[in-house]
Amino acid sequence: MYRSLISISWNAAADNLNFLLQWFKRFPQYKGRDFYIIGESYAGHYVPQLSQAIVRHNLKNVEVINLKGYMVGNALTDNFHDHLGLFEFMWSVGMISDETFKQLNVFCDFQSFIHASGQCDKVLDIAAEEIGDIDMYSIFTPPCTANFNRFSRLLKIKKKVGLIKRAYDPCTEAHSTIYFNIPEVQNALHVHRKNSSSKWVTCSDEVSENWKDSPISVLDIYRELIPLGLHIWIFSGDTDAVIPVTSTRYSIDALNLSTTSPWRAWYDDGQVGGWTQEYNGLTFVTVRGAGHEVPLHKPKQALTLFKSYLSASPMPTLKQVSDL
């Protein structure tokens, strides 16, 4: 029986582990197969926590899950480094002023993303005003506006193409908000509407304001799991301003891992797909031009990334691409 409310990510890890154990009982033909976990954004917490739960469960040597590794993208990892990298990224691409950048580093230092101080909130409001109406998940593509919605509909009418070739839709959040508020959808999801908010919203302020126990960091989990030889990769779309590439690089640097293969470009169809660096126990990959959800923005490059990860191969070099 599942808990009625998943209140903290540690509970989520325990529930996800329980789900996996029950799933393998129902589908025993998959027991013993190589098992990988992949996620993005707040999965930067969920995925390492679930991996840790599986590793500790396997110590009992009962119903062992053959966990081989995990991969996370644009992942929330450590409050301090996530903030440090975010402020630096916004400043470096010209989104905020020098003065606001300085104030963010003073008043929001070591602050939680979810529960900032009053002073930090004020500076964040100034930063938001300076940034303007852009898509923080993909800073170089148009944001969701009424005009974009109309333009998007016209494109769909005039140009019939496969899903894989469609441009990034910045209005996905707006579409999902409408969808998840349809009574039939909520009934299908077993939502008890009498006991919940009248309207479902993404990234609810009500939830955020009452969520007090999100761990400030999962770096200690990396320190526990890396020596075990798990196949751990982190990837980052480099046009995301929510969990930007700079945040991830600061978090990786805090692990003090030795480099086994230095920073270099990787290639897809003869073009630079991004950059990569291999460490002792961890590989970092950036995807050029991708936003927060890499496969949504750059599906072909994401496929190359996933193939390399699952085959335990380095990201392709220019020579490898040229020889194909």
CB atoms within 10 A of CB 80: 19
Kindly give, in sequence order, each residue whose CB lies less than 8 Å from that of residue 96, ignoring residues fewer than 6 positions away: 87, 90, 104, 127, 130, 131
Amino acid at 206: E
With 0-12 / 13-18 / 19 or more C-beta atoms within 10 angstroms meaning exposed / middle / buried, residue 129 is: exposed
Instruction: Sort residue 240 into left (φ over 0), alpha (ψ -120 to 50) or beta.
Output: beta
Q: Quote the crossing angle between the two packed helices 9-26 and 43-58, to the nearest 10°.
A: 60
Residues assigned a catalytic role: 41, 240, 292
Are 264 and 251 in contact by the 8 Å Cβ rule? The answer is no
What percent of the residues of the chain are helix, what percent strand, and what percent coil, each to the nearest 5? 50, 15, 35
